[in-house]
Structure 1
Amino acid sequence: MDLTGATIVAKALKQQGTQRCYGICGIPVIDLGYCIQGEGIEYYGFRNEQAASYAAGADGFMSKRPGICMSVSGPGMTNCISGLANAWANKWPMILIGGAHDTNQDGTGGFQECDQLVASLPFVKYYVKVSSVERIPFYIAKAFRESMYGTPGPVYLDFPGDILVKKANEDSIKWFDYVEDIPKTLADPTCISKAFDVLKNAKNPLVIVGKGVAYADASDEMREFIEETKLPFLPTPMAKGTLPDDHPQFVGSARSLALKDADVVVLACARLNWILHFGLSPRFRKDVKIIQIENDAKEIHQNVKSEVVLYGDAKCILNQLNEHNSSTAKYTYESDSEWWGRLNDKVESNKKVSEAMYNDKTLPMSYYNSMFVIQNMIPKDCILVSEGSNTMDIGRTILENYHPKHRLDAGTFGTMGVGLGFSIAAQAVHKDKRVVLVIGDSAFGFSGMELETMCRYKMPITVIIINNNGIFTGVEEIEKDENALSIPITALQPDSKYEMMAEAFGGVGHSAKTPEEIAEALKISLKSDQLHLINVAIDPYGSKKPQEFAWLTKEEDKKAKI
């Protein structure tokens, strides 16, 4: 029997265990979309390729198999480059399948002709223009291996239109086996012993849990390590929930103190990049000793030379640490130490400051009292998606997470516009979970039309817009005579009725201007099987509480010490 290239692509994807595909159909991939559905793969059609590509990356993070995105040629494919870049920065497995002009039109100015391979180059591990129908399964299998093995990341497959419609006899096609999960490796046993030698000499130890621990499905092993050693820990933003935020050894509320005064840091699958201030003074001690758990050789000694490197799979390494500790090291940090006392005092003092802000009844609402209501009402096992500037930063300190890979945010690349795509992917992957998106009004604008996508696929997502009429800060009103020379560059249209967008597509919209109105809207939303959008009006001039350090390390402070 003869099979078209599109049919072979779909069958090869199915053979690799693909369950979902995100994208936008059009020339030359319309038939491919139908073939994908025909193989029992769910297809989620978006309103913008950028949001679809973000969804595919998030799917890869949650599932540990490459998230699949499909795009049309030319501008459709280039719209996906932000998604490739986001997956690249976060080290998430993803495959973009891009349609392209016919092979015989190379260099002729064909429809949407451009060098899509070169366009993808900075952000992919592997790319190829598929030139043989019979070899399609080879390229699909290779794409999965490249995306998953070594450092996870994105891959681009370029499919000319003529390859997708061309036929090949099934007997001439070589099919490839399912690409197994990446083989796991142990750390050097001598380094395991050395790590405990360093810990035993620490006065102010700290564990930093990165999202790589969650990706490695190592939360149980990390919990055992934390609880047996009695060490304080804090997570990087998307690692929240790897251990629950209400864990007694969680010191996120004393983050600045913990980072600044720790003399030994167990850096568990986290990177010393801008999120952790490069590991440098004044945010870290100049003499801090790093015990680095890492599976990407390129990250070893990055910005700060590690005292001990535990290179390998996080789950395996944490098992090694736990076994060595129970049998040999028998290390437990003193819970009555001066360090624990300082951390606990700071946690309590910061909680008192925060509680005063949560209980402030002033209207319009602030970020703090509005999010406090949200925190008290959303389910503990919901997938929480957070996006925005102040909305995401403040939300990280208020909105708690209790399960691994249950928080998605702007991530390593600081990407705005990911929220709705991430939420769709979260609901597609976890159909039995409640998905809650807390997003700033500016961030919502990047991909707001994906509300229609949510409604079309009957996703009961709760979208909460924290609306301050602006980017960082807004305005109460814009005068009639103001124009592009006078309207503040951070301002957005005041009093925008975002809730009406949800209603336009068949969802339910709510406007909330008081904590009580937020609570009532959430009560209704969290029992519903429909999309709900809650438009929360807050003070346009509200801001974050004062910070000991600026959130972004300045250039004069960023001087590597290796």
Structure 2
Amino acid sequence: MSGEAGLTGEGGLLAVAALRAAGVDTVFTLSGGHIFSLLHAAARDGMRIVDVRHEQTAVFAAEGAAKLSRRPGVALLTAGPGVTNGVSGLATAQANGSPLLVLAGRASQRRWGSGSLQELDHVPLVAPLTKRAATVTRTDEIAAEVGAALRTAAAPHRGPVFLDIPIDVLHQRASVPPPSAGPAAPPDPGDPDEVARAAAIVAAARQPVLVAGGDVWWGGAWAALRRCVEALRVPAFMNGQGRGALPPGHELAFSRTRDALKEADAVVVVGTPMDFRLSFGRFPQARIVHIVDDPGRRAAHVPVAAAPAGDLAAILDAMAVWPGARDDHAEWIGRLRDRERARRAAERAELESASSPIHPARVIGELGALLDRDAIVVCDGGDFVSYAGRLLDSHQPGCWLDPGPFGCLGVGPGYAAAARLLHPDRQVVLLLGDGAFGFSAGDVDTLVRHKLPVVMVVGNNGIWGLEKHPMRKLYGSDVAADLRPDTRYDLLVRSLGGDGETVLRPQDIAPALKRAFASEVPYLVNVLTDPDVAYRRSANLG
């Protein structure tokens, strides 16, 4: 209970009060004895509690909620295996820079070392994957620690924070001041000299290119990005969760001509690391500008000509109004636009393929024709979802969720649950490889129990395509790369309370998708695709 003097209650109540003070209204969990105090306090508070079938899904769902809301997501995990089951979710959030709080139970502090159930020191396990990992050992410190953890998770550069609380500490009572969200840190506009240097490099280039990554979304900088590319007349590509920051119809938005990075004499990378997705920053002819939200994110493995760090919107707006002379880059933009049109035209053969077995691109083509402009697309898989990444356009920011650079499969049902909860009036589509579906298929039950209708589309080619085809190319054979052909994943979804169907012919894809969108339950369209079709990859993983 609360009063003028502050807040009094057991540890779970104090933790939940701190969550509520920070604006958290939903938690994702799998029940366990070490977190009963947290769960009952959340229920009494009226928080939405989404319980799942595997702790990895709880963490993925919390991260998905963070990705969509640009605020910290929260997962409550029980001790021991509850925490170890959530480790892949923490690693994924770290790689994605997603603000996340994992609040966990812990074996009794009073009996520590005596062999209590699920006694495990979690902190050393998760410390390398988090911005901060700690154990709260006093009940009167719980609210302050939870509030501080949420602020740490959200501060640049964002990421996951882990706190565990011993069960006896959670069940004790304390009186504390009323929790508050705390003051927001003022935006950092970046070093003006470094910002001016970056703008001058773009303006003086003959063939500049800009790549916008997920931090443009996280930083609310998509409008500033548009002002910047329009003012400096620079072709722009969107990477990862940066997709949709510039709509595909914009004259400076490109997606099919990423080989322009090899020809560019200036490459501006905004809000994303120069990792394998960007050839590790190896742009042979270019001066590189790396714009980041925190100095610690600056690339150290490639030479950069300028590297402004701070609030991305402020930096991009300052570049837009840079007073120096600039080229209109018209000839370069025109060449890229002609190439972009030609490549989009060439895609039609795959998108409209009548081949049998079904070409995976045909599935994406039929889906794209049915998607609203604000549809949320969740990707969980290898080859099949790679077609979506290449062929589907994102028309608005915040509409694309994929595992990110850590590449962890199994994110799909958690991300999709978060999408449906946060955007109940939008289309939510979960694209799955048949291999990826096996990681968290049980959490279709979560979607059913919580009445979260999601359209699931499985590209079912009966193999681990991302492994089988490269292995055959390298070795002439493959190992451990086959699944059971023609598995009826739709029947599994039906048995869990959803619905679905299997599609064998390309002309039946669209009608099946329409039935899925009209359904009011989780619905899986199981499309049998051609195992001999290999996605053409250009990324060098190492």
Q: TM-score, normalised by structure 1?
A: 0.90
Q: Tell me, what secondary structure is at the counterpart of 1:534?
A: strand
Alignment match of 2:271 (pick from 261, 269, 279): 269
Alignment match of 1:279 (pick from 260, 278, 281): 281
Alignment match of 1:222 (pick from 208, 220, 225): 225
Hey, what does 1:559 align to over in structure 2?
none
1-structure distance, mates of 2:183, 2:426: 27
Instruction: Answer yes or no: is the 8 Å Cα contact 2:274–2:299 preserved in 1.
Output: no
Bigger CA drift: 192-201 or 446-455? 192-201
Hey, what does 2:437 align to over in structure 1?
444
Instruction: Answer yes or no: is the 8 Å Cα contact 2:295–2:310 preserved in 1.
Output: no
2-structure distance, mates of 1:333, 1:487: 51
Amino acid paired to 1:521:
A
Q: CA deviation at 1:225?
A: 1.8
Hey, what does 2:187 align to over in structure 1?
184
Identify unmatched segments of 5+ residues in structure 2: 2-7, 469-476
2-structure distance, mates of 1:40, 1:510: 37
Alignment match of 1:409 (pick from 382, 402, 406): 402
Q: Tell me, what secondary structure is at the counterpart of 1:265?
A: strand
User: Residues 330-357 of structure 1, C-alpha deviation per residue, up to 9 Å, x if partnerless?
Assistant: 635232x1x2343234323322331112
Amino acid paired to 1:151:
H
Instruction: Answer yes or no: is the 8 Å Cα contact 1:473–1:491 preserved in 2.
Output: no
RMSD between aligned residues: 1.9
Instruction: Answer yes or no: is the 8 Å Cα contact 1:22–1:69 preserved in 2.
Output: yes
Amino acid paired to 1:384:
V
Hey, what does 1:483 align to over in structure 2?
none
Q: CA deviation at 1:299?
A: 2.2
Instruction: Answer yes or no: is the 8 Å Cα contact 1:473–1:540 preserved in 2.
Output: no
Matched, 1:492 2:495: no
Amino acid paired to 1:435:
V
Instruction: Answer yes or no: is the 8 Å Cα contact 1:219–1:243 preserved in 2.
Output: yes
* Residues 150 and 368 of structure 1: CA distance in aligned 2, closer, same or farther (over 3 Å): closer
Identify unmatched segments of 5+ residues in structure 1: 476-485, 555-562
Q: CA deviation at 1:322?
A: 2.2
* Residues 331 and 473 of structure 1: CA distance in aligned 2, closer, same or farther (over 3 Å): closer
Alignment of 1:181-260 (within 5 A): 181-256=184-259, 258-260=260-262
2-structure distance, mates of 1:271, 1:194: 20
Q: CA deviation at 1:323?
A: 2.9
2-structure distance, mates of 1:261, 1:333: 18
User: Residues 50-75 of structure 1, C-alpha deviation per residue, up to 9 Å, x if partnerless?
Assistant: 11111112222222322100111111
Amino acid paired to 2:450:
Y
User: Residues 351-386 of structure 1, C-alpha deviation per residue, up to 9 Å, x if partnerless?
Assistant: 233111222211111111121111111222111111
2-structure distance, mates of 1:356, 1:190: 49
2-structure distance, mates of 1:103, 1:474: 46
Matched, 1:334 2:329: yes
Hey, what does 1:126 align to over in structure 2?
132
User: Residues 305-331 of structure 1, C-alpha deviation per residue, up to 9 Å, x if partnerless?
Assistant: 22122221011112212233xxx2363
Q: CA deviation at 1:24?
A: 0.3
Alignment of 1:54-93 (within 5 A): 54-93=60-99
Instruction: Answer yes or no: is the 8 Å Cα contact 2:503–2:527 preserved in 1.
Output: yes
Hey, what does 1:419 align to over in structure 2?
412
2-structure distance, mates of 1:291, 1:40: 47
Q: Tell me, what secondary structure is at the counterpart of 1:519?
A: helix
Hey, what does 1:94 align to over in structure 2?
100
2-structure distance, mates of 1:196, 1:553: 31
Matched, 1:460 2:467: no
Instruction: Answer yes or no: is the 8 Å Cα contact 1:272–1:302 preserved in 2.
Output: no
Identity level (%): 29
Instruction: Answer yes or no: is the 8 Å Cα contact 1:367–1:543 preserved in 2.
Output: no
Q: Tell me, what secondary structure is at the counterpart of 1:470?
A: coil
Hey, what does 1:299 align to over in structure 2?
297
Q: CA deviation at 1:108?
A: 1.0
Instruction: Answer yes or no: is the 8 Å Cα contact 2:63–2:73 preserved in 1.
Output: yes
Instruction: Answer yes or no: is the 8 Å Cα contact 2:377–2:399 preserved in 1.
Output: yes
2-structure distance, mates of 1:473, 1:264: 33
Q: TM-score, normalised by structure 2?
A: 0.93
Instruction: Answer yes or no: is the 8 Å Cα contact 2:383–2:466 preserved in 1.
Output: no
Instruction: Answer yes or no: is the 8 Å Cα contact 2:454–2:523 preserved in 1.
Output: yes
Amino acid paired to 1:173:
V
1-structure distance, mates of 2:357, 2:99: 43
Amino acid paired to 2:242:
A
Matched, 1:44 2:50: yes
Hey, what does 1:480 align to over in structure 2?
none
Hey, what does 1:317 align to over in structure 2?
315
Matched, 1:396 2:389: yes
Q: Tell me, what secondary structure is at the counterpart of 1:458?
A: coil
Instruction: Answer yes or no: is the 8 Å Cα contact 1:62–1:215 preserved in 2.
Output: no
Q: CA deviation at 1:527?
A: 2.9
